Amino acid sequence: MRVVSGIQPTGDLHLGNLLGAILRWVRMQDEAQCLFFLADLHALTVEVDPSRLGASVREMAAALIASGIDPNKSIVFRQSAVAAHPELAWILQGTARMGWLNRMTQWKDKAGKNKEGSSVGLFTYPVLQAADILLYKATHVPVGEDQKQHVELTRDIALKFNTDFDVDLFVPPEPYIGGGTAARVMSLRDGNMKMSKTDPSDMSRINLTDSDELIGQKIRKAKTDPEPLPDDESALDGRPEAKNLVGIYAEVTGDSVEQVLQRFAGQGFGAFKPALADALIALLAPLRSRLEEFRKDPAELDRLLRSGSERATEIAAPTLAAAYDAVGLTR
């Protein structure tokens, strides 16, 4: 089993990134060889601020490590530091079909009505993602629901390449969606909207840098409904805010939703919210102080990332060479 996943260096991390992706990665480290990278080449598919990109990459890398991604167990690196990613992506552009990419919902969502004005990179984004995965012969790719289609496309690209060039090179990966109840963390102000760094209300999200006091305040003010908590998970359907808060509590404490409901069934949010705030603070306070340490010592972070990209380059090299070979470009 080999796990590969990437995250875009968006900066300003919040609880949604942490629970939706990072903590699931942390748990996978003991079960498989893992490679985790900052998808900074993918960041170029939309407008970037060159003066901010480097800082965002560092912040995200620090957050990963502060959250428990251990550079001694996992390979952590910047995508742009391993040239094999864009190299293989180019080769795979000969395999991926326009029709396949046209069906990608992320492309349709992000380009919207402005297809003509979108970057070519936004369209071929999933081909670079396929290269990210296939380079390392990943068997499992932990991603959110919204990325499942890209992993399925990666399978199609792998199979077509293997067939077209009569090789047994690429391993079709499996998306790995499970592993968390709060895989989708919703806004604290509207249980139907994803928690997002672009929401104009800061009260809608918990940032990794929020103080204990602010976390407490945001949870106290989080939108809820007047009903007590039910004893049965299905009764949370139709109560998006309650479902979200219970999901967050479960994820943070490592309990199942059923277990959480057993503990709080019949109680109102007056009792539940302080417990939730405490659990969040217990999770985030140590993480915040580790982040502070990295901020004081950026050279250490750069050293860790450099060593990660060296190891990734080594693992990627034979796959890349075999891909060149397969298409007749033996070097």
Instruction: Summarize as ranges the residues that interact with ligand TRP (CB under 6 A).
Output: 4-8, 39, 42, 129, 132-133, 141, 143, 147
Q: In this complex, which beta carbon is closest to ligand TRP, that of residue 157 or of residue 281?
A: 157
Please state the closest distance from residue 132 (CB atom) to ligand TRP, in A. Answer: 4
Tokens of 203: 């009260």
CB 295 within 8 A of CB 287: no
Tokens of 70: 């251990």
Q: In this complex, which beta carbon is closest to ligand TRP, that of residue 133 or of residue 279?
A: 133
How many angstroms separate the CA atoms of 59 and 22, rounded?
14
Active site members: 110, 194, 197
Name the closest residue to ligand TRP (Cβ).
Answer: 6
Taking alpha carbons only, the member of 23, 56, 18, 62 closest to residue 40 is 56
How many angstroms separate the CA atoms of 41 and 6, rounded?
11
Please state the closest distance from residue 147 (CB atom) to ligand TRP, in A. Answer: 5
Number of Cβ within a 10 Å radius of residue 29: 17
Please state the closest distance from residue 211 (CB atom) to ligand TRP, in A. Answer: 28
How many angstroms separate the CA atoms of 266 and 261, rounded?
9
Q: Residue 30 to residues 70, 74, 324: CA-CA distances in angstroms?
A: 10, 9, 33
Q: In this complex, which beta carbon is closest to ligand TRP, that of residue 7 or of residue 222?
A: 7
Please state the closest distance from residue 264 (CB atom) to ligand TRP, in A. Answer: 32
Please state the closest distance from residue 226 (CB atom) to ligand TRP, in A. Answer: 36
Q: Residue 155 to residues 134, 160, 324: CA-CA distances in angstroms?
A: 9, 9, 19
Please state the closest distance from residue 306 (CB atom) to ligand TRP, in A. Answer: 20
Please state the closest distance from residue 224 (CB atom) to ligand TRP, in A. Answer: 29
SS3 letters across 142-191: ECCHHHHHHHHHHHHHHHHHHHHCCCCCCCCCEEECCCCCCCCCECCCCC
Phi and psi angles of residue 78, each rounded to the nearest 5 degrees, phi first: -90, 130
Length of the chain (residues): 331
Q: In this complex, which beta carbon is closest to ligand TRP, that of residue 127 or of residue 260?
A: 127
Number of Cβ within a 10 Å radius of residue 109: 9
Please classify residue 329 by burial: count the beta carbons closer than 10 Å to its beta carbon, then call 0-12 exposed, 13-18 middle and 19+ buried. Answer: exposed
Q: In this complex, which beta carbon is closest to ligand TRP, that of residue 182 or of residue 279?
A: 182
Q: In this complex, which beta carbon is closest to ligand TRP, that of residue 145 or of residue 292?
A: 145
Number of Cβ within a 10 Å radius of residue 282: 12
CB 180 within 8 A of CB 252: no
Q: In this complex, which beta carbon is closest to ligand TRP, that of residue 40 or of residue 241?
A: 40
